[in-house]
Amino acid sequence: NIRRIAHVAALFADACTLAITSFISPYRADRETARKLHTERGLEFVEVWVDVSVEEAERRDPKGLYKKARKGELKEFTGISAPYEEPESAEIRIRGAETSVEEAVKQVVRFLEGKGYLKKGEVQEGGLVEM
């Protein structure tokens, strides 16, 4: 799935469109493949790591999936019965337990503005993009 997502994001980037995707990608090799799909085409790739403990993710879990995974009802569940390999060189690290959603968005936007991927002020309060 991560490879397919990376291909679609690269197609958007080829068309000069910023693509932001959000997925659990537990393996470094998959994330590196996604990065290479972009960099080999001369496209930018920014990895954002939302760093949150399994305990915090479990506390926030509205569907009770972690509880089911701990009971063995869900197989190969990241962080419980399947590994999660932390990123070694993510461009952005958001400490999920300490950062509100609003502040996390601001952190990403500031990074993108700093790199020139977004113009300052292009993203308004509430996440709306000026076109």
Per-residue pLDDT, 56:
93
pTM of the model: 0.85
Per the residue annotation, which of 22, 25, 53, 100 is the catalytic one? 25
CA-to-CA separations, 15 to 2, 12, 46, 114, 120, in angstroms, rounded: 20, 5, 17, 21, 21
Mention every residue, 6+ apart, whose C-beta is less than 8 A from residue 77.
Answer: 65, 66, 69
List, for residues 99-116, the tens digit of each pLDDT value.
999 999 999 999 999 999
Q: Is 25 a catalytic residue?
A: yes
Band of residue 122 on the pLDDT scale cut at 50, 70, 90: confident
In the chain, the percentage of residues whose pLDDT exceeds 90 is 83
Short-list 33, 25, 3, 10, CA closest to 87: 25
If DSSP codes are grouped into helix, strand and coil, which group holds residue 68? Answer: helix
| Mean pLDDT in residue range 79-95 | 95
If DSSP codes are grouped into helix, strand and coil, which group holds residue 51? Answer: strand
List, for residues 26-85, the tens digit of each pLDDT value.
999 999 999 999 999 999 999 999 999 999 999 999 999 999 999 999 999 999 999 999
Please state, as a whole number, how many other Cβ atoms lie within 10 Å of the Cβ of residue 66.
Answer: 20
Short-list 102, 103, 122, CA closest to 112: 122
